[in-house]
Amino acid sequence: MTLSDALIIINKEIQSIEYPKNPAGLYSPIAYLLTLKGKKIRPALTLLACNLFCNEVKEAIPTALAWEIFHNFTLMHDDVMDKADLRRGQATVHKKWNENTAILSGDTMLILSYKYLAKSPSRCLEILLDLFSDTAAKICEGQQFDMEYEKRTMISEKEYIEMIRLKTAVMMGACLKSGAIVGGANESDQQNLYDFGIRLGIAFQIKDDWLDVYGDSNTFGKKTGGDILCNKKTFLLVTALETATGKDKEALLYWLNNNIQSDEKIEAVRQLYDKLSVKEKTQKALQNYHQQSINALQKVSADPAGKKILADIAGGLVEREF
């Protein structure tokens, strides 16, 4: 099974979800967000991980959908908390409807994700439930740290990596591990795939941070520099804060501590990044986590052709321009 085979299955399944007709105000926002164009990489990882150990990936479809619905629930609520106007180039749910709708439809999506999870094979339901709930709680913890870090100036690289591990990476790890569980993998292979996902998830987020500063705004699909404007804690900012001394640090703190919303700020912070070699340091970290992810993947006892598909996905995510 290739990535595009997996995506065809996932997209077809998502398109064919039947929602209750009433109340439409509760279910329409769910259908809206789930059918916006997105990468759908997480449920694909579940199917592909399952396929490493078993030809019958059909059994992993409910688990895969549970992750995709859960992921979109987090987007719906995070967008409320972050006051974001756009998601995948379209209006966020709380902008198109209102905040209460985004809260309540989000809650319903979280419940819906468990409904799908409950359709996983009985033989591994209990272990999947534990993995799913533990992962879900970690993702909330990551979002909490992210919000708390907004109010602090100094965040260490260690704190930052732990935050994105919780907020982004554990889900990729768990998507892969759950697919491996359904596919009948042994515990060691489950763990290796989990580790692959964690490292990949960290690299994925660092790349996300990188694209906001160095991406091509045409390919990226949105204006670059948004993270700089809102002082978002990114790998780049954290690295700059840890590296800068003297006048550079003063300048960086000036831009961070004054509420300036202008292209001038983006340009000034970019120049500081250049001076502090932030681009190179970020590229190095990215390559490091990418390499670690591949190392973990290599330890998995499965068909090399199947592992190559996962390795290619990892490469694609790290090299992506959007």
How many Cα atoms are found within 13 Å in the side-chain-facing hemisphere of 103? 4
Q: Residue 265: which residues within 8 A CB-CB, separation 6 or more?
A: 228, 229, 255
Q: Residue 321: which residues within 8 A CB-CB, separation 6 or more?
A: 211, 215, 216, 219, 220
Q: Does 210 bind its own copies (CB under 8 A)?
A: no
User: Quick one: 85 or 126, whose CB is closer to its own copies?
Assistant: 126
* Residue range at the interface with its own copies (CB under 8 A); choices 5-13, 136-144, 221-229, 265-273: 136-144
Among 55, 122, 261, 262, binds its own copies (CB under 8 A): 122
- Kindly report whether the peptide bond that precedes residue 23 is cis, defined as omega within 30 degrees of 0: yes
Q: Please tell me whether residue 90 adopts helix, strand or coil conformation.
A: strand
- Binding footprint of its own copies, residue count (CB under 8 A): 36
Other beta carbons within 10 Å of 76? 26
Mask of contacts with its own copies, 9-48, x by CB under 8 A? -----------x-xx-xx----------------------
Mask of contacts with its own copies, 80-109, x by CB under 8 A? xx------------------x--xx-xxx-
Among 5, 141, 208, 242, binds its own copies (CB under 8 A): 141
User: Quick one: 161 or 286, whose CB is closer to its own copies?
Assistant: 161
* Residue range at the interface with its own copies (CB under 8 A); choices 120-128, 194-202, 207-215, 268-276: 120-128
Q: In whole angstroms, how close is the CB of 43 to its own copies at the nearest point?
A: 19
Other beta carbons within 10 Å of 102? 22
Q: Does 145 bind its own copies (CB under 8 A)?
A: yes
Whose CA is closest to 203, among 107, 99, 91, 294? Answer: 294
Q: Residue 193: which residues within 8 A CB-CB, separation 6 or more?
A: 49, 52, 173, 176, 177, 179, 180, 185, 296, 297, 300
Whose CA is closest to 178, among 135, 221, 237? Answer: 135
Q: In whole angstroms, how close is the CB of 139 to its own copies at the nearest point?
A: 9
Q: In whole angstroms, how close is the CB of 120 to its own copies at the nearest point?
A: 10
Residues that bind its own copies (CB under 8 A): 20, 22-23, 25-26, 77, 80-81, 100, 103-104, 106-108, 110-112, 114-115, 118, 122, 125-126, 129-130, 133-134, 136-137, 140-141, 143-145, 147-148
